[in-house]
Amino acid sequence: MADPKEAFVTVCECRTFVRRAGAGRPVLFLHGAGGLPGWQPFLARLAERYDVLAPDHPGYGQSESQQWLEEVADLGQFYLEFLKAFDLTGVQVIGHSLGGWIALEMATRSTARIKSLTLMSSAGIRVKNLGPPDLFAMDPDELVRTLFHDKLLIEQQLNTPPTPEQLATITRNRVTSARLGWNPRLFNPKLRKWLRRIDVPTHIVWGDQDKIFVPAYATELQNEIPGAQVTIIPDTGHMLHIEKADAVADAVVAFAG
């Protein structure tokens, strides 16, 4: 697995850490609330076919935070500026969980530089009586068991304690996620009414064992976004691109070409 190039760029006065690898049509990968710990096998698979950019969001990982960062919608606007700064067009935007929410905020504002959306176990809306559990109140072991479905992977995660540096990053990511998504929890009440504005092909990919956003969320998003398609990955939890990297990458490629 080839290592990506890593660099800091400044967008909207925010020093932003970006990983990049591959060649071909551009892909912007937007990570979830836990951050992006490294260049994962899922991204390596995509980089075999595409030019993949995977930033740390402002306030996450190695990227700076900014006073203008008050809500997830601000990240949506930031990434529209990010695409402009890199002069990227025809971009396939892929977002996982929080990243899917950011992708929705982007696409309801402008799709001028966006070719397609792939939403993986996406936050952003609320399905009545099926709200997500309070992730911010969970201890680390409970959180791992909620995020993943694969028992071997759960045990591997639980038996690999983070280093002090990793723990500091995890804590920073959780603080930013709580600030942006605590109340209301992991959705924007104003977002749903604008989903009809999304005018690019949209692929909704979900794990059938997701305990954070149950598969009913995939159906709800499909009903709200014109022409959206859904792929359900079997025997997979919320972290579907970690648990089933090859299956999810194959689904992404099959949709986007």
Overall domain count for the chain: 1
Q: What is the pTM of this model?
A: 0.98
Residue 241 corresponds to which tokens in the numbers above?
């691109």
CATH number of the domain enclosing 84: 3.40.50.1820
pLDDT per residue of the chain (257 residues) written in tens, 0 to 9: 568 999 999 999 999 999 999 999 999 999 999 999 999 999 999 999 999 999 999 999 999 999 999 999 999 999 999 999 999 999 999 999 999 999 999 999 999 999 999 999 999 999 999 999 999 999 999 999 999 999 999 999 999 999 999 999 999 999 999 999 999 999 999 999 999 999 999 999 999 999 999 999 999 999 999 999 999 999 999 999 999 999 999 999 999 98
Q: Distance between CA 205 and CA 220 in Å, rounded?
A: 13
**Residue-range definition of the domain harbouring residue 115:** 5-256
Number of Cβ within a 10 Å radius of residue 189? 9
Q: Distance between CA 50 and CA 59 in Å, rounded?
A: 27
SS3 256: helix
